[in-house]
């Protein structure tokens, strides 16, 4: 599997190469990236202005083509809605546990553990979204485990 890919800015005809987490994010049709960076123009532009250098397909068309099978709820879970809800639920659970602890022990212990639990809860929410939702949805919709394999 390739670990990097280049895209061409259609306005200036310059290639920019992405790798690592940037490539992962760019390749994911469900992530719905709206803009990306051009090394020559040194700025962000809408994905409608960029094409994959190897296939010449506009990135916006590539996204549309690979998420044809996605329902509205698939897109919601993979977008910011799912992110906010799961991280939010995790934080609220942490705060509630902190309050319970504050009432049963001292307010300081409750406050400190409440904050720590809220942060842990938010992180667990993010992990749950990645492992339980996003990855499964991407596999079902796009047919691959890793969107970097898509062309
Ligand atoms: Zn450019």
What pLDDT is attached to residue 31?
A: 84
- Token couple for 146: 């890793």
54 Cβ contact partners less than 8 Å away, ≥ 6 residues apart: 5, 6, 151
pLDDT of residue 134: 85
Instruction: Report percent pLDDT > 90 for the chain.
Output: 51
Other CB atoms within a 10 A radius of the CB of residue 57 amount to 13
Ligand 1: distance of its center to the CA of 92 in Å? 43
Q: Distance, CA 130 to ligand 1 centroid (Å)?
A: 32
Q: What is the Å distance from ligand 1's center to 17 Cα?
A: 12
The pLDDT assigned to 86 comes to: 81
Model confidence at 5, in pLDDT bands (50, 70, 90)?
very high
Q: How many angstroms is it from 14 CA to the middle of ligand 1?
A: 6
9 C-alpha to ligand 1 centroid (Å): 5
Per mean pLDDT, which range of 40-54, 62-76, 130-144 is the poorest?
130-144
15 Cα–ligand 1 center, Å:
8
Q: Where are the alpha helices (DSSP H) in 44-150?
A: 59-66, 72-78, 80-104, 107-128, 135-142
d(CA 39, CA 7): 11
Token pair for 121: 């809860």
pLDDT tens string 24-56 = 999 999 987 899 999 999 999 999 999 999 999
Q: Across all residues in the chain, what is the average pLDDT?
A: 91
Calpha distance 30→147 (Å, rounded): 9
Q: What is the mean pLDDT of residues 96-120?
A: 88
Predicted pLDDT at 101: 86
Two tokens, residue 114: 């409440």
- 8-state DSSP, 10: T
Compute, in angstroms, the gap from residue 121 CA to the centroid of ligand 1: 41
pLDDT > 70: what percent of the chain? 100
**pTM of the predicted model as reported, rounded to 2 decimal places:** 0.78
pLDDT attached to residue 23: 95
In angstroms, what is the span from residue 58 Cα to ligand 1's centroid?
14
Rounded to a whole number of angstroms, the CA Rg of the chain reads 20
Q: Looking at the predicted structure, is the pLDDT value of residue 91 above 90? A: no
Cα of 112 from ligand 1 centre, angstroms = 48
The pLDDT, as a whole number, for residue 77 is 84
């Amino acid at each position: 599997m390739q670990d990097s890919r280049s895209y061409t800015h259609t306005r200036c005809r310059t290639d920019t190469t992405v790798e690592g987490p940037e490539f992962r994010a760019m390749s994911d049709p469900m992530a719905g990236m709206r803009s990306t960076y051009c090394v020559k123009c040194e700025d962000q532009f809408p994905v409608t202005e960029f094409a994959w250098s190897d296939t010449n397909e506009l990135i916006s068309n590539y996204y549309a083509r690979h998420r044809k099978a996605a329902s509205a709820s698939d897109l919601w879970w993979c977008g910011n809605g799912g992110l906010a809800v799961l991280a939010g639920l995790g934080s609220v659970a942490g705060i509630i546990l902190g309050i319970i602890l504050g009432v049963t022990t001292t307010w300081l212990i409750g406050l400190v553990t409440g904050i720590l639990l809220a942060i842990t809860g938010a992180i667990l929410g993010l992990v749950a979204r990645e492992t339980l939702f996003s990855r499964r949805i991407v596999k079902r919709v796009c047919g691959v485990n890793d969107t970097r394999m898509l062309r």
